[in-house]
Amino acid sequence: MRYGNRVKKTVVNLVTSANQPDLDEDSRHLIPALETRGMEVRVVRWDDPSVDWENAAVSVVRSVDDYANRRAEFLEWARTVPRLLNPASVLEWNTDKHYLQVLGERGLSTIDTTWLEPQQNLDKQQIHSRFPAHGDFVVKPAVSSGGRDAGRYTANLAGSRQEAILHAVDLLKQGRSVMVQRYLTEIDKHGELSLIYLNGLISHVVEKKPMLHPSLASLPEQEVPTEEITKVRQPSAEEWQWGEEIRRIVHGYVKETLGRDSLFLFNRIDLVRKNDGGFYVMEISLVDASLYLSESQLAVDNFADAIAQRAFW
């Protein structure tokens, strides 16, 4: 906007956490791209009481990797922020992976999951009896960010199974719901795919190699390896069709739940190809999802354009 001979820049907040006060590496690429588009960028912590949230055209949730341990506080904050993207109601739905139950009920192929709840007061034997009898499986909390606190185990190895039991017990003692899922061997064969949508339009596809090895659960967080990206590219016709169907189901449910449709600023759909065709839906990421901006300038430009569109609406 122009005032006399002076241009007033549109303020965009990029929201981060105390753990990453300067944003994560992925999101830092946004700053020059947004400034080039005439915006004033402010990197702000979501829990900083001094931030004037009213002063921004939009506030974009990015590297808020501490929300899992402070979910109630995080959501309380989100409800107070005007023009938050993605909005608080969407964050509330997506920060708890129980949403996968809903997607399965709506016909999407999700990974079969056994849910262990704190209120069940399960003992070790009861937890043991709920694990798969053979093959590898994954134990992880229903509320987590970036694969933290997840571990892969082998069902028919006594030591590995015991580690899995202790992992589940520890999470349940913290009051956290636990997911037990068989490890998809398709991941080792096909890797994983992430479809990245910005303002409802597909931007790019990311191919990734598997990274959840059995030893990861016991590693300190700073030593856990990052995802290995093999390619950033445009979607195939098949991937586009599957992505659109998944997006339609997610938007339909959100609309029913919230009473209105919500155009997500960003949406990452994580998939694994089935051996017999089609895909498993692993996750829908609408909170602090990495959009792999470090891997592609096109991805940076697409996201900056998407933010600019929302800032000037």
> Would you list the domain boundaries of the chain?
2-94, 99-109+186-291, 113-183
pLDDT at 8: 56
Q: Which two tokens stand for residue 79?
A: 């409800």
Q: What pLDDT, on a 0 to 100 scale, did the predictor assign at position 147? A: 79
Residue type, 287: V
**Answer CATH for 113-183 from 3.30.1490.20, 1.10.760.10, 3.10.100.10, 3.50.50.60:** 3.30.1490.20
Closest residue by Cα to residue 68 from 166, 152, 176: 176
Q: What architecture is domain 2-94?
A: 3-Layer(aba) Sandwich (3.40)
Whether residue 219 is predicted with pLDDT greater than 90 in this model: the reply is: no
Q: If you average pLDDT over residues 219-246, what whole number do you get?
A: 76
pLDDT value of residue 6: 39
Q: How far apart are CA 27 and CA 292, in angstroms?
A: 9
What does the pLDDT look like over 143-199, one tens digit per residue? 998 778 999 999 999 999 999 999 999 999 999 999 999 999 999 888 999 999 999
- Among 133-137, 248-252, 268-272, name the one with the lowest average pLDDT: 248-252
CB atoms within 10 A of CB 197: 22
Look at residue 262 in the predicted model and tell me its pLDDT: 77
Instruction: Give the pLDDT band (50/70/90) at residue 260.
Output: low
pLDDT at 69: 92
The per-residue pLDDT for 209 is: 84
| Cβ atoms of residues 46 and 19 within 8 Å | no
